[in-house]
């Protein structure tokens, strides 16, 4: 029987994390590298991606960054090739990149709808499809972990486009899990809620403009709604992604793991 450290050992595994330059994606990249995996970090912001690489290398890990748009099919293929060139194989894809701009539903323009759905939902599909193609060809199986959200399960207002995109990610995760199971490709998702990142700081500013509430008032409102009484840290999501990437989750597919401090209970 494998020991606990063997179960979490990702030595020799090659992983891709989209949007790994900051926030949750950076925390995931750091944990996967700490477990021994080589990490290809993609980001539209190459400087941010390179910063994560430097942090991983400083800790003795293996990583490279590539500038790639997580909504582009050609960049998905470019990322797959760059990962094979760098690390020789692909074992794990984490579809993390996503945006959540605030807008009242009656003011969502077609362009904004397309921007959010193109990245959060279509991009998740395009990257999963491109990487699964490689995994099917090599016949080695693999793992795909998508970033859903509590917003894909319950609306809270002012992000209907985002709610729709993450609801789509949840169903895409289950549909791909079903069809890819014969290839031993496991597809799961994590659904975080209320994690402190650069992205949520920006949302706070946008919500302030939309609601007229102060940032302090909104932070207090959010913490009050959290049964655990606080917002979460990116690493608290990364640890759950590490679990799904590890051998501990080898009999799980099509699952959505909520990491929200109990928010959906409130
Ligand atoms: N923070 C939360 O509370 C929370 C809750 C639920 C779900 N999520 C999801 O987690 C993921 C990460 O969120 P975060 O809060 O860390 O975001 P963030 O904005 O802090 O970081 C996102 C990263 O993705 C990169 N990025 C943006 N657009 C990109 C594109 N087109 N291609 C490649 N990279 C791109 C950014 O440069 C940045 O490095 C998103 O999918 C988000 O929807 C976050």
Instruction: Please report, for the chain, the start and end positions of each structural domain, with discontinuous segments joined by +.
Output: 10-196+233-257
Say if ligand 1 is within 6 A of residue 162 CB: no
Q: What is the pLDDT of residues 20-40, one digit of tens each?
A: 999 999 999 999 999 999 999
What pLDDT is stored for residue 218 in this prediction? 81
Residue 99 Cα, ligand 1 centroid: separation in angstroms?
6
Q: Which residues in 124-156 are b (16+ Cβ under 10 Å) and which e? A: bbbbbebbbebbbeeeeebbbbbbbbbbbbeee
Q: What is the pLDDT of residues 68-103, one digit of tens each?
A: 999 999 999 999 999 999 999 999 999 999 999 999
162 as an active site residue: the answer is: yes
This prediction's pTM:
0.98
Q: What is the pLDDT of residues 105-137, one digit of tens each?
A: 999 999 999 999 999 999 999 999 999 999 999
In ligand 1, which atom is closest to the CA atom of 21? 39
CA dist 32 and 258 (Å) reads 20
Give the mean pLDDT of 134-158: 98
Say if ligand 1 is within 6 A of residue 24 CB: yes
CA dist 70 and 97 (Å) reads 7
Residue predicted with more confidence, 179 or 220? 179
- The CATH homologous superfamily to which domain 10-196+233-257 belongs is NAD(P)-binding Rossmann-like Domain (3.40.50.720)
Range of 42-51, 198-207, 210-219 with top mean pLDDT: 42-51
In ligand 1, which atom is closest to the CA atom of 69? 32
Say if ligand 1 is within 6 A of residue 147 CB: yes
Cβ–Cβ under 8 Å, residues 63 and 57: yes
As a residue count, the chain comes to 266
What pLDDT is stored for residue 220 in this prediction? 84
Query: Does pLDDT of 215 surpass 80?
Result: no
Candidates 49, 94, 153, 199: which one to mutate for ligand 1, based on the most atoms within 8 Å of Cβ? 199
Say if ligand 1 is within 6 A of residue 45 CB: yes
Say if ligand 1 is within 6 A of residue 65 CB: no
Q: What is the pLDDT of residues 41-76, one digit of tens each?
A: 999 999 999 999 999 999 999 999 999 999 999 999
Cα 33 to chain centroid, rounded: 16
Write the CA distances from 224 to 12, 14, 96, 140, 218, integer angstroms.
Answer: 43, 40, 27, 46, 10
CA dist 190 and 185 (Å) reads 17
Tell me how many degrees the CA angle 58-64-70 measures, rounded to the nearest 5.
Answer: 130
The active-site residue out of 100, 162, 251, 263 is: 162
């Amino acid at each position: 029987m494998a020991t606990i450290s063997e179960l979490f050992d990702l030595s020799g595994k090659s992983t891709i994390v989209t949007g790994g330059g900051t926030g949750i994606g950076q925390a995931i990249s750091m944990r996967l590298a700490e477990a021994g995996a080589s990490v290809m970090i993609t980001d539209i912001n190459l400087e941010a991606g390179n910063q994560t690489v430097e942090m991983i290398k400083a800790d003795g890990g293996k990583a490279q960054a590539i500038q790639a748009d997580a909504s582009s099919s050609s960049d998905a293929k470019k990322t797959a090739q760059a990962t094979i060139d760098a690390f020789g194989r692909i074992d794990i894809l984490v579809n993390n990149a996503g945006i959540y701009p605030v807008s009242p539903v009656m003011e969502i323009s077609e362009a904004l709808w397309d921007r959010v759905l193109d990245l959060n939902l279509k991009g998740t599909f395009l990257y999963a499809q491109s990487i699964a193609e490689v995994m099917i060809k090599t016949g080695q199986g693999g793992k795909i972990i998508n970033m859903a959200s509590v917003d894909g399960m319950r609306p809270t207002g002012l992000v209907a486009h985002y709610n729709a995109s993450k609801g789509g990610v949840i169903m895409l995760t289950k549909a791909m899990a079903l069809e890819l199971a014969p290839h031993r490709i496991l597809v799961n998702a994590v659904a975080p809620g209320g994690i402190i990142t650069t992205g949520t700081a920006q949302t706070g500013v946008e919500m302030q403009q939309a609601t007229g509430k102060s940032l302090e008032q909104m932070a207090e409102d959010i913490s009050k709604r959290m049964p655990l009484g606080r917002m979460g840290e990116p690493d608290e999501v990364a640890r759950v992604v590490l679990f799904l990437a590890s051998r501990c989750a080898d009999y799980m597919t099509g699952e959505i793991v909520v990491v929200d401090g109990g928010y959906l209970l409130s």
